[in-house]
Amino acid sequence: MPQGYEINDMAKEESWRMFRIMGELVEGFDKMSGVEPAVTIYGSARLKPDDRVFAQTEEIARRLGELGFSIITGGGPGVMEAANKGAREAGGLSVGLNIVLPAEQACNVYANKMITFNHFFVRKVMLVKYATAFVIMPGGLGTLDELTEVLTLMQTSKIKPFPIILFDSSFWQGFLEWLRKAVLSKGFINEDDLRLLRLCDEPAEVAEAVQRWYMKQEILGRRAVPAK
């Protein structure tokens, strides 16, 4: 601890951090108001624009945008950029929730509503709170973190059970087999937890699954597509 740095100084610093966190939450709630219905799309920031999954992500977001859904992403490159691009091409709301990192992540140019956060957990709240469904594209540790957090929130009834769509069955199959053979077999999760997950391999499947579920729910506010 630096010379002259007192315990009281540390307490004051933590108190001000609390207010900064509160400020981020208030800003997020204020700026995200009215984005519903929305779909949050997760996936790797390292995905390259020439990758097949980039084009598929873009198509998924475009199809959902044409149905009237806002698209929410983490605001960075890779899957996030593809999703925001597709949403903008559809003429819909393209939301990027950026995060300040040591290796600075710049928000992609396709988000037309941008918010930058300093705290991961505040950003996570915003990614989850306003979503009607979650689309999980191939990704790494961050994507797995977000997927398992959403599953846990549903498992513990902290949020309503929304569709969780895993895109690209060849990518996710090994993970699902591990959940069944190593986790479910030991009773660490229930069969109902796995039923929250849905595999899709075509962008049209994703849009159809989200829309079909959404139209069956009694959700206050505007429908993604007006009822006929």
Chain segment 93-144, per-residue pLDDT in tens = 999 999 887 765 678 999 999 998 888 889 999 999 999 999 999 999 999 9
Please report whether residue 224 resides in a domain: no
Please report whether residue 203 resides in a domain: yes
Q: pTM value?
A: 0.86
Three-class DSSP category at 181: helix
Please report whether residue 51 resides in a domain: yes
Domain containing residue 144: CATH number:
3.40.50.450
Structural domain harbouring 195: 9-215
Please report whether residue 137 resides in a domain: yes
CA–CA gap between residue 202 and residue 204 (Å, rounded): 5
Q: Which residue has the tokens 């605001």?
A: 75
Chain segment 176-204, per-residue pLDDT in tens = 999 999 999 999 999 988 888 999 999 99
Please report whether residue 225 resides in a domain: no
pLDDT at 12: 63
Please report whether residue 66 resides in a domain: yes
| pLDDT of 71 higher than 90 | yes
Please report whether residue 221 resides in a domain: no
Residue 99: both structure tokens together: 């995060």
CA–CA gap between residue 172 and residue 157 (Å, rounded): 25
DSSP designation for 106: P
Q: Domain total for the chain? A: 1
CA–CA gap between residue 93 and residue 40 (Å, rounded): 12
Please report whether residue 71 resides in a domain: yes
